[in-house]
Amino acid sequence: MAKVTGGEILAKALKIEGVDTIFNLPGDPMGPIASATKPAGMKTYSFRHEQATALAAQAYAYATKKVGVGIVPSGPAMTNAITGLMTAWSGCLPLLLIGGNGDRARRFQGDFQEAPQVETAAPFCKWTASIEDPRHVPYYVNQAVRKIMHGRPGPVYLDMPANVIAGSVDEEQVKYFPAVEAAPRPMADPQSVKRAVEAISKAQRPLLLIGKGMAWSEAQDEIRQFVDRMQIPFVPSPMGKGVVPDDHALNAQGARTYALQNADLVILAGARSNWIFHFLSAPRFSPDVKVVQLDIDPSEIGNGHGVDVGLVGDGKAVFGQMLEEIGRVRRPIETPWLQALETEKEKNSDSIAPMVNSNDAPMNMYAMYREMTKMMARDATVTADGENTMALSRVMVPNYLPRHRIDAGESGCMGVSTPYAIGMQVARPGKQVFSFNGDYAFGWNGFEVETAARYNLPIIYVVANNVSVGGPGHAELGTRLESPEQPEGIHYDKVMEAFGGDGYFIERLDQVRPALEKALSAHKPSLLNVVIDKRQRRKEQAYTWMTSRTQRMQY
C-alpha cells in the first residue's frame, strides 16, 4: 500500500477546496507541507514575519472570495500570527491559519516550541481544532472552510503537531470530502422586509450606511438600484467604499457629519453599530433616529443600539427582496434633504480647497492625494495605514468597485497596509495596487517590501513622511522621530532600493507625477517617500474620533 504523510494529505485536501495559493513563513515542523504543496500546483509566497503572512492571506481572500491560507511554524511563530487572527476576527475577514506544534507524544514535556496554541487562538476564531491523526486532516480542512465561508466570514485556526505533519498512513485509509458548496444566501422574513420598506418610504431624511458586508455579499447591483429608485443618500464605511461608486451623485461622504446627525432613519446594511459609525449614538446621530438593520448574523441585530426593524439574511438576497417590495415606487429626485446635503458637501469642499489646491513645499496630505489620484486607474486597489494617512485617504482617494479597499478597519491595527497590498496584488495580477502608509505605521511590517521585491509584485508603496506618530495632533506623546542630522526622517526610499525595487524621494508636488509615471511603467515594486509638512494641515474636526467633543481614546 502507498503511504502518504500528513503534509501530503493537507495539500490534497486544500486542493479539493479550490486553494491554489499559500502564504507562509518557512520553518519546522512545516517542511512536509511545503514539500507537498508545490507538486500539488499551489503557488507559495513566503514572508519575513508571521503577522504579515496572516494579513496578506486575509486580504487575498477578501479580494478573491476564496479561502486565504496562512501556514506558520510553531511556538513564537504561531503567536506572532495571532495579530492576523485578531484583525480577521475584528474585521470579519476569511482566513485559515495553520500552525505547527510540538510532537503529540511529548505534549506537556517541554518539546521544542511547544505552546498552548489552540487555546491562545480561540478568542479570535470562529473555530479552532488540533488535528491528532493524519487520517483526520481532510475532515478538519473541510469543516474549517465551511465555517470560514458560510454566514459571516471570519478566521479558523488548525493546529498540526509535528508527528501529524510528518507521520505517514496508508493512502486508502484516508477519506477525502467533497468541496464545500457555495455559501447559502438566506432571505429575510417577508414581513420584516415589508415593515422596513414602509419605514424607509415614510422617512423624510433617510440615510443608507453601507458596510463591507455588502461588498462581501456582492450586493452592488441591488444596492445601486435601490439608491437610484429611492433616491436615498448613502455613506459608506471605509471598506464599504465602491459598493456604489464614490462619484455617484447621492454619495453623502462629503457631508458625513451633517448626514449622520440629521438623518431621521438609517439603514445599517452589512455594517455594525461600532466605533466606525459612532455606535449610532448622540451626539453623532439624532437621539430619535430610527434604525433598519441588515446583517447575516442574527446576533448582530440590535447589538449596541436598538433597531426598529431587523433584517436577517444575505445582503444581495435581502436587497433583492426590498426591490421587489418597492415595485415601481420612486422617491422625488429633488427633496429638501438632498438639497441640504449638497449644500453641506459644497461647504466642506470649499473648506479644504486651500489645502487640496496648495502647491506649497513641504506639501500637505490633501495635496499629495490630489496628485496621486490623477494617476490611479478606476479599478485600482487601495490599502491604507497610519492615522492621518488612512483617514485622509478615505476622503481623498475614490473607490469605484467593491472590495477594492482594505485598511486597518475596526481593529485599528498598525502595520497592515504593507502586507495587505501583497495579498491584493497576488489576487489581482496586472492591476494597480497602491499602499498608503504613515511613516510610523510603515515600520511595523516595512521589511515586507523585500517580499514584494522577491516576487516582483508591482505595488506602489507610498510613505507619507511627517516624521511623527499620528501627526502633530499627538505632540503630547513625545513622538517625533527626527534627529538633528536627519530632519526629514528615515529614507524609506533607500530601503526599497536596497531590496531591488525602485525608490523615490519626493519633496515637492511637481515631483509626484513624474515619479508615479516611472513607478507605474517599471512593473516592479516602488516606494515613494513623500515629505509631508510637519505642521497640522487638516480640516478642523467637529469631533475627535471617538464619540463626543469631550471623550477621546487615551493611548
Write the pLDDT tens digit of every residue in 257-289: 999 999 999 999 999 999 999 999 999 999 999
Q: What percent of the chain has pLDDT over 90?
A: 87
What pLDDT shows up at residue 513? 97
CB-based contact 392:231 (threshold 8 Å): no
What pLDDT shows up at residue 541? 61
3-173 CATH fold: Rossmann fold (3.40.50)
Q: What is the pLDDT of residues 402-421, one digit of tens each?
A: 999 999 999 999 999 999 99
Q: Which residues pair with 526 in a beta bridge?
A: 460, 502
Domain 190-340, what architecture?
A: 3-Layer(aba) Sandwich (3.40)
Residue with cell string 453601507: 210
SS3 readout for 492-520: HHHHHHHCCCEEEEECCHHHHHHHHHHHH
Q: What is the pLDDT of residues 200-209, one digit of tens each?
A: 999 999 999 9
Do 3-173 and 190-340 come out as alike in CATH topology? yes
What pLDDT shows up at residue 534? 86
What is the torsional sign of CA 412, 423, 448, 377? Answer: negative
CB-based contact 242:400 (threshold 8 Å): yes
Compute the average pLDDT of residues 506-534: 97
Burial 104-127 (b: 16+ CB within 10 A, else e): beeeeeebebbbebbebbeebbbb
* Residue 354: half-sphere exposure toward Cβ, Cα within 13 Å: 4
Please provide residue 72's backbone torsions phi and psi, each rounded to the nearest 5 degrees. -135, 155
Min mean pLDDT across 109-118, 241-250, 419-428, 450-459 is at 109-118
What is the torsional sign of CA 545, 529, 533, 256? Answer: negative
What pLDDT shows up at residue 103? 83
In the predicted structure, residue 136 carries a pLDDT above the cut 60: yes
Cα–Cα dist 395/68, whole Å: 29
Compute the C-alpha angle 472/473/478, nearest 5°: 65
In the predicted structure, residue 169 carries a pLDDT above the cut 60: yes
Residue with cell string 455606535: 279
Which residue, 199, 91, 80, is CA-closest to 444?
80
What pLDDT shows up at residue 476? 41
Element (H, E) at 310: strand 309-312
What pLDDT shows up at residue 407? 97
Distances (CA, A) of 453 to 25, 156, 431, 450: 16, 30, 16, 5
What pLDDT shows up at residue 544? 59
Cα–Cα dist 96/119, whole Å: 16
Distances (CA, A) of 146 to 11, 504, 508: 17, 45, 51
Q: Is 3 exposed, middle or buried (0-12, 13-18, 19+ CB in 10 A)?
A: exposed
Name the class of domain 357-531.
Answer: alpha beta
What pLDDT shows up at residue 112? 73
Around Cβ 219, how many Cβ atoms within 10 Å?
26
Cα–Cα dist 419/93, whole Å: 15
Q: Where are the domains of the chain?
A: 3-173, 190-340, 357-531
In the predicted structure, residue 22 carries a pLDDT above the cut 70: yes
Cα–Cα dist 493/8, whole Å: 41
What pLDDT shows up at residue 539? 59
What pLDDT shows up at residue 548? 45
In the predicted structure, residue 460 carries a pLDDT above the cut 90: yes
Residue with cell string 463591507: 212
Q: What percent of the chain has pLDDT over 70?
A: 92
**Helix 50-64 × helix 82-91 angle, to 10°:** 30
In the predicted structure, residue 473 carries a pLDDT above the cut 90: no
What is the grid cell recorded at 194? 415589508
How confident is the prediction for the chain on average, in pLDDT? Answer: 92
Burial 152-173 (b: 16+ CB within 10 A, else e): ebbbbbbbbbbbbbbbebeeee
Compute the average pLDDT of residues 67-95: 97
Cα–Cα dist 315/325, whole Å: 15
3-state secondary structure of 129: strand
- How far the first Cα of the chain sits from its last, in Å, is 61
Compute the average pLDDT of residues 323-338: 86
With cut-offs at 50, 70 and 90, classify the pLDDT of residue 540: low
